Amino acid sequence: MKVKTLNKEFELKFNGSVLALLGELGLNPVEFLVVVNNELVHELRVLNGDELVEVIPVVSGG
Amino acid sequence: MKCKNCSRQVLINDYCKDCFIKYFEKEFRKGLGNLKGKSLCIAVSGGKDSLTTLYLTKKFYPENKILALLIDEGIHGYRHGTIKSLRKYAVEWGIPYKILKFKKPLDSMNPKRPCSVCGVLRRYYLNKHARVFNVLILGHNLDDEAQSTLMNVFMRYASRFNRMTVKQVTHELFVKRVKPMRYLSEREVMAYFLLKGFNTSMRECPYARSSFRDVVRKSLNDFEYKHSGTKLSIIKTYDSLGIINNPVNLGSCNACGEPSSNEVCKACMILKG
Ligand SMILES: [Zn+2]
Ligand SMILES: [Zn+2]
């Protein structure tokens, strides 16, 4: 899958839930929302192969 | 998993998309209180919190006189993007706006503690220019409020405690404040913002990472992750203290006459130093 954060984009081989992905990336789920193919998803949503996964920090902006 | 309100698929906070939006707007509406007939100045930065505040205040009080007031701090490469968003949405939602600049851009002041200098000056200008309105509406969310409360404890700023509440300050030049998102977390605000299809610059202030607030935010979020509900508990505890506290009677700054708890206000000290 393609993972996009605020300032970088990378390919990642990953199987599991949104929550597990955040864990894998070392991110606190309180501080992030995840958007898959332009739609906000629940943290238990299972991610699969060809998706565009955006990890959005909730603190961004002022 | 099913929504706790209906039978649809859950999206956030045990709610489906529609029920979450309903919940969020209901909480916001409750936070606004009764503003019938009041003129409203809304402090905006053009970020997600203030745009959400602007949108929903207008939604619930379409007949009120409203002004969106943006203070441009003069931080290179930061404010530009959100000003563009403010302009776009203000026009779209039919809300007049005003943009004020710091007399001296924050960057050029080269401050040792940029976030506190910026905060003092922003509050100073906001209060001064919102004065002709009945109410100043601020887009602070639960995270902001819980952080501020803890920071006041950590820094032993007991006197600032009372001033944080909306009802406790008395000074003829101090504008009444309302914070409709005080009980809504930053995560909820962002979710609402995204679900409504809104968009703005998500760039973070270049100074933010070096601030004490950022340290507190990080620890508080770690705590919240392990003990869900921590932020709300902090605010609720604080609220219940507020009731037994006496209102703060602020004095006036000898130099500019603005409300201040010192002889010369912090803004004057910064601007003269
Ligand atoms: Zn529902
Ligand atoms: Zn002064």
Model confidence at A59: pLDDT above 70: yes
- What does DSSP say about strands A2-4 and A9-11: parallel, antiparallel, or unpaired? antiparallel
Beta bridge partners of B137: B42, B178
Q: What is the pLDDT of residue A61?
A: 52
CB pairs under 8 A between A and B: 64
User: Backbone phi, then psi, for B45, in 5-degree steps?
Assistant: -115, -15
Q: What is the pLDDT of residue B34?
A: 97
DSSP class of B185: -
Could you report the predicted ipTM of this complex, rounded to two decimals?
0.95
Rg of chain B, C-alpha, whole Å = 19
* Cα of B125 from ligand 2 centre, angstroms: 11
DSSP class of B47: S
Closest by Cα among B101, B130, B127 to B41: B130
Q: Which portions of chain B are predicted below pLDDT 50?
A: none
Structure tokens at A25: 């990336």
Residue A11 C-alpha, separation from nearest chain B C-alpha, in angstroms:
22
d(CA B6, CA B59): 25
Instruction: Give the nearest partner residue to A30 out of B48, B204, B221, using CB atoms.
Output: B221
Structure tokens at B129: 């220019």
Other CB atoms within a 10 A radius of the CB of residue B61 amount to 19
Predicted confidence (pLDDT) per residue in B204-260, tens digit: 888 887 788 899 999 999 999 999 999 999 999 888 876 555 666 788 999 999 998
Q: What is the pLDDT of residue A19?
A: 96
Report percent pLDDT > 70 for chain B. Answer: 92
Q: Which fold has domain B33-243?
A: Rossmann fold (3.40.50)
Q: Do B204 and A61 touch (CB under 8 A)?
A: yes
Instruction: Give the nearest partner residue to A61 out of B12, B17, B201, using CB atoms.
Output: B201
Instruction: Give the nearest partner residue to A59 out of B200, B201, B217, using CB atoms.
Output: B217
d(CA B261, CA B216): 25
Give Cα separations from A5 to A10, A23, A32 (angstroms): 9, 15, 10
Give Cα separations from B150 to B56, B227, B248 (angstroms): 28, 16, 20
Instruction: Give the start-to-end residue ranges of the domains of chain B.
Output: 1-30, 33-243
| Residue in A with minimal Cα distance to B190 | A58
User: Backbone phi, then psi, for B198, in 5-degree steps?
Assistant: -80, 165
d(CA A17, CA A56): 16
| Residue in A with minimal Cα distance to B230 | A30
